[in-house]
A and B are shown apart, each in its own frame.
Chain A
């Protein structure tokens, strides 16, 4: 009886897949954390115009105002441009209270740096935007950002 038994078979041992779930879970958690569910459903058509002189939007201090004509779900409201804030169509008078309400939810140090982002459909009349801007001036929210899609520099 020999002491040194020959190892039987020359085939490779199977690669352990025991850590596969761990790796997958790691990826899963990454995507779970990175995912932001859309918090606003737009009720207006929203094709953003293109621009290339753009800056990044700071999400922590930004309030969104949407405008455009009502989309196919709300066809009965006609085709005039309308303003949407937080899931509801609003009139011009409601902009100022909405801005103050939003500012009240912000941290102290961001209160005077509030930015209002205007997401406006490119086929809207510009008149409605100047009305919105007038309301924002009266609410003293003077920093605005026209949200656009980014086109290549020509």
Chain B
């Protein structure tokens, strides 16, 4: 008897099956795209040293109450004006820093009654326990935006590129470190150090 050849399996429907799976995965795929505002918390300080006395003019106080209203430097302010107010405060440069150097890159009004130097300028934020988180983030966003605006301005002036592009390049080359670039970034960060303190809300 002749040996019978095994019949070939019909693979015509394979494409259909693959398509079915493909469409399933296409529909269920969500490319993760989490982004957010990165902040550092202050470490807990147990030492009993007196906190240094900070002049009132070097403080930029922001209060957010439970109705999500803003009180900035004792005045009611709209959130859309906050960024400009913070920029003006940080960029004022009315006097000298701790080392006695004047702020030669500040372009502010050099107002005697506002901050001395970006090194000394501190923004304090205090919110109520019942402030909504959405408003709180909005305020944070505006303050970070103020710092980013100033850092970006200096990066444009000194290196002729945006601060964001410098950070991006650093991120891309994280395995072969570019010392020059890191130094440049640190320098700009030092020009406008992010001094943003958050007070704990009152327990009531």
A residues with a Cβ closer than 8 A to B are 17, 20-21, 24-25, 27-28, 31-32, 34-38, 49-57, 59, 115, 117, 120-127, 129-130, 133-134, 136-138, 140, 142-148, 150
Which of B42, B44, B128, B136 interacts with A129 by CB under 8 Å? Answer: B136
The answer to whether the Cβ of B21 comes within 8 Å of any Cβ in the partner chain is: yes
Q: A24 to B15, Cβ gap below 8 A?
A: yes
Q: B29 to A21, Cβ gap below 8 A?
A: no
Q: A57 to B36, Cβ gap below 8 A?
A: yes
Alpha-carbon distance A44/B128, docked complex (angstroms):
22
Q: B22 to A125, Cβ gap below 8 A?
A: no
Chain A, Cβ-Cβ closest to B39:
A144
Q: B19 to A124, Cβ gap below 8 A?
A: no
Q: B38 to A115, Cβ gap below 8 A?
A: yes
* Chain A residues whose CB sits within 8 angstroms of the CB of B38 once the complex forms: 55, 115, 143-145
Alpha-carbon distance A59/B31, docked complex (angstroms):
13
* Chain B residues whose CB sits within 8 angstroms of the CB of A117 once the complex forms: 34, 36
B window 132-163: CB within 8 A of A: 132-138, 140-141, 144-145, 148
Q: A36 to B30, Cβ gap below 8 A?
A: yes
Chain B, Cβ-Cβ closest to A133:
B41
With A125-B133, A126-B128, A129-B133 in contact, do A24 and B18 touch (Cβ < 8 Å)? Answer: yes
